Structures are given as structure tokens and as C-alpha cells.
Amino acid sequence: MDAKPIVGRKKPHVVFIPFPAQSHIKCMLKLARLLHHKGIEITFINTEWNHKRLFKYGGSSGLDGIPGFRFNTVLDGLPSSTDDGTEPTQTVEELGLYLLTNFLDPFLDLVAGLETPPTYIICDSTMTFTNTIDAAEKLKIPIFLYWTMAATGFMAYYLAKVLLEKGILPLKG
């Protein structure tokens, strides 16, 4: 099916916010590609470090520079380089703590600077700790929380409380 041009209406523009981990980025990027293929403008927001890795290892697969698909970044608290030339690293906890206090304002500034105002935000459901729902409310833009885990991960998450209540978790011995 070919994408049909939207005539007489403002072209939709979706901002994607993945959790900064490879599997989350990969899943959200697949959805972004599908929507772009249907004629929707996409802005894909990554952390600086993940953006560099995405382009270094070919994860952008021809999306960079094509009309209607752009990548933007937010800081992640990592230095751009290290003294010994190795890639800088941080734990998920360190990254989460950094984004908790340093994501919202730069994100709002980034969105305000976009050429085309976004009509939707699709946010990784694990990124809500960064106040993306508050951002969507401030911007008056609908937000969709997208679950990027596999079905088995969802079932583990969904049943964790039941397994704890029945004493099955934590595992013993």
C-alpha cells in the first residue's frame, strides 16, 4: 500500500522518545519507519551517546537526511570523550537519575525549536519518569505510551505482583 498524501489538512508530525537502550530504540525506530512510510513526519529523539552509536553502527539505515525524518538529541550526562580514548559509560541508574532531572526542559526547548510543530508524541512507556506526560500536557499534544518489551516481558511485568503474593517470588535456594 502506498502512502496517500494528506490534502487540505496539516500533515501529522510525531515525536518519538525511546528509552535509551538498544532494544527500546530499535523497536521505536521500526514503528517510526512504518509511520514515515505512510507519509507522517517523524522527529526521533535520542540521547547524545545513543545517537552517535546508532549512526556509527548503521542503525539509522538510510533514514538520515531523508525528507520528513529527522533525528534530534538530548544530553545524557556523559562526556563527549574520555582521556584514554575509550567510549564513556554509565549505569542505567546513573542515566535514569540524570534524565530524571535534566530531560524535561531541554525536551521542551527542542520541541519549541522544531520547524513543524508536532501533533503527537509517542513515548516509550518506561520513559514516563522523565515527565514526558507533563511535557505533553504543557505542549497540548496527545501522548501515546508505547510498550517496547516483548510479550514475555509484558507477562512477567503483569504477573510479578501475583507471583510475589503467592510466594513464588523471590526464588528460594
pLDDT at 60: 63
Least Cα distance to 137 among 152, 123, 116, 155 occurs for 123
Tens digit of pLDDT for each residue in 126-143? Answer: 898 899 999 999 999 999
Q: Is 36 a catalytic residue?
A: no
Q: Is 51 a catalytic residue?
A: no
Query: In the prediction, which pLDDT does 16 show?
Result: 97
Ranges of the chain with pLDDT below 70: 1-9, 57-62, 64, 78-90
pTM of the shown model: 0.78
Name the active-site residue from 24, 36, 51, 76.
Answer: 24
The x, y and z cell numbers of residue 78, run together, are 556523559
As to burial, measured by CB atoms within 10 angstroms (0-12 exposed, 13-18 middle, 19+ buried), residue 95 is buried
